[in-house]
Structure 1
Amino acid sequence: MMKKRFIFSLIMLLVVFRAQALPPDTTYVEKAKESYYDKRVHRYRKHWAALIPTQFIIQNAGNMGVVSAGLGWDYGNRRQWETDLLFGYIPAHQSTRGKLTMTLKQNFVPWSHSMKNGWSIEPLTASIYINTVYGHEFWKSQPRRYPDAYYNFMSTKFRLNIALGQRVTMTIPNHRTKLFAKNISFFYEISSCDLYIRSMILDHAVSLNDIIGLSLGVRACIL
């Protein structure tokens, strides 16, 4: 009887050691080849995801209203390109009502210099943008009340602008980025438009100080 128990215990012990020596169970999953439909869906989603704005901007002046606000997209290998869509407001002043503006702006940020404590500076920003003012007072083509070709190549409906500026950016710590944004930039720009530049070229009494303006703004990177 004792011999049988000893043999049984020995067999059970060998079974346990054998089970521990075996490699853990693995599940082999064959990777299915991606179908044409799956590839098309992924491209579709990728293109739509690119339309999600990555920035929020608020700015004063800049030939686009006393205050303007809108959304922006940054892209490129170093996020050096930006496209902004802004809507602004011009108070009534001498007119009977205030007016709304819309601006499409393209920015180029060549480089950024990192500083201490999460701050960085963009020494140069270059922008070109076109804006329009909503209202019947502004025309796209020259009205008949003006002599032929008097304003042939320009309109009061659209203005082409250029600007140069600088930025200072504050990076928000990771544990606080969920509150609003991952960084906030404070910037200034010096700008002018095609109409002002034309006036300085045609009239020598108009100086450079007469055609440039200062603009201040805040840009928050939300993605």
Structure 2
Amino acid sequence: MPSRRPLDRRIHRGYASWERVAPTHLRLQYAGSIGIASAGMGWDYGRRGQWETELLVGVVPAYHSDKAKITLTLRETFVPWSIACGGRLSVEPLACGFYFSTLLSDRFWVRQPERYPKGYYFFSTRLRSYVFLGPRVTCRVNDRRSDRLLRAVTFCCECSTCDLYVLSRWNNRTLRARDMLSLSFGVKFQLFDSRREVCAVHGTR
């Protein structure tokens, strides 16, 4: 049997052929500048599943506008360490990455409309880029049963900022950290394919 690091239980069983397009997890998120709530799917990869790519759809309430808006977000996450704590719990002290988000509304634009003087807006109102970091805690489900769909549940807390805030801070030194940072909370549901689990138990593919 292959050796396993004692403090890192992460296992990424690779997909074969067309199975590579199947998502490995689902994610729910509250806040984070991409809507009051967002949900989507993602893919783990890397030797220990330390890379994650996710696609989320979020909802921005109407507030003072006439209707709610939809956001579309593409995330990339790197999780360098996972430390086992007891039988089922593990702590990932640092998850970091970046994401791009867009508002699906014709009231926002990528290039400045001609009705504004040239250079009036130096940024896009439709596209935003973010960086984030934060800790995570994972609770493993009893994955010895091949008929279970859920492998683990991860609780995430992230602090993020976007390109517009950073540029604004460059020109406006009165901006404070709390004006630039956003806090979000998420839940990740790790899935697995029962057929691959059975193959792994018997040592075949």
TM tier, smaller: 0.7 to 0.9
C-alpha distance after superposition, 1:26-47 (max 9, x if no partner): xxxxxxxxxxxxxxxxxxx934
Q: How many residues of Structure 1 are paired with residues of Structure 2 in the alignment?
A: 178
Distance 1:177 1:103 in 2: 33
2:30 aligned residue (56, 60, 66): 60
Q: Which residue of 2 aligns with 1:140?
A: 110
The letter for the 1-side match of 2:56 is L
Higher strand share: 2
1:130 aligns to 2:100 (yes or no): yes
Shift of 1:174: 2.8
Higher helix share: 1
Alignment of 1:69-84 (within 5 A): 69-84=39-54
Secondary structure at the residue paired with 1:197? helix
Secondary structure at the residue paired with 2:118? coil
Q: Which residue of 2 aligns with 1:203?
A: 172
Alignment of 1:71-110 (within 5 A): 71-110=41-80
Contact 1:189 1:215 survives alignment (8 Å): yes
2:89 aligned residue (97, 110, 119): 119
C-alpha distance after superposition, 1:194-221 (max 9, x if no partner): 1111111111111111010110010010
Alignment of 1:152-167 (within 5 A): 152=122, 154-167=123-136
C-alpha distance after superposition, 1:140-179 (max 9, x if no partner): 1011232212324x20111001100110000011356744
Distance 2:191 2:125 in 1: 35
Contact 1:200 1:208 survives alignment (8 Å): no
Distance 2:186 2:147 in 1: 23
What TM-score results when the alignment is normalised by the length of structure 2?
A: 0.83
Q: Structure 2: state its 5+ residue gaps.
A: 1-14, 193-205
Identity of aligned residues (%): 40
Distance 1:207 1:103 in 2: 26
Distance 1:125 1:172 in 2: 21
Distance 2:17 2:170 in 1: 44
Distance 1:176 1:87 in 2: 32
Q: Which runs of 4+ in 1 moved over 3 A?
A: 175-180
Distance 2:164 2:145 in 1: 45
